[in-house]
Chain A
Amino acid sequence: GAVVSQHPSRVICKSGTSVKIECRSLDFQATTMFWYRQFPKKSLMLMATSNEGSKATYEQGVEKDKFLINHASLTLSTLTVTSAHPEDSSFYICSARDAGHYVYNEQFFGPGTRLTVL
């Protein structure tokens, strides 16, 4: 089946540092990947849509300069939280669509990355 990995699974960093989270499709090519964020006891929220070879599309209220997304290949998208602050502490999840066996709207989810900013 379609497998999506994320790295790291957990990260703790100091305030002001930048953190990069990788999302990889392991056995399929993904022209589109999505980044979601989940605060404790809250719903998942779409942050941005990442399209291979083009700029990401951000949701309202998500700072583009703070959450840098790069989708440089068909199997990898990265989310970089720049100058992280404690309020950025959250659970970040990516999902991907299989470009090769495309079932419209089907998404495969990564296991998530728990970010804690001290």
Chain B
Amino acid sequence: KNEVEQSPQNLTAQEGEFITINCSYSVGISALHWLQQHPGGGIVSLFMLSSGKKKHGRLIATINIQEKHSSLHITASHPRDSAVYICAGILWGQSGGGADGLTFGKGTHLIIQP
């Protein structure tokens, strides 16, 4: 079982719709990242948060530490928002030596149709 779970796996919506992508994790984290990956593969870091809520333009990220859950919202979605959105956390007590490395969800493939 993946320690970081995302839903939905795929999402197709119409331009202008409000988008929500969910992320849940099974163990405590020190920080959670929301990343955007475009078809070429390059990754852009959207948010890093450990509590509360952050907003950048049309993007909003929230996290509830007690419930081990985070959401990424996109308001007034646009076709250029089409990408894979990935949540990733630095998990407490994760295996291996990379104590500060990220554990990734499988990503949500978002398509915004005009």
Listed in ascending order, the chain A residues whose CB lies under 8 Å from chain B are 32, 34, 36, 38, 42-46, 48-49, 57-60, 91, 93, 95, 97, 103-109, 111-112, 114
Contact = CB atoms under 8 A, between A and B. Distances in A.
B95 A46 contact: no
Nearest to B48: A106
Given A105-B31, A105-B48, A109-B35, A44 B100 contact: no
A43 B109 CA distance: 12
Interface in B88-103: 88, 90, 95-103
Interface of B: 2, 30-31, 33, 35, 40-45, 48, 50, 86, 88, 90, 95-107
B101 A109 contact: no
B106 A43 contact: yes
A106 B99 CA distance: 14
A97 B42 CA distance: 17
A32, A57, A97, A103 — most chain B CB neighbours (10 Å): A57
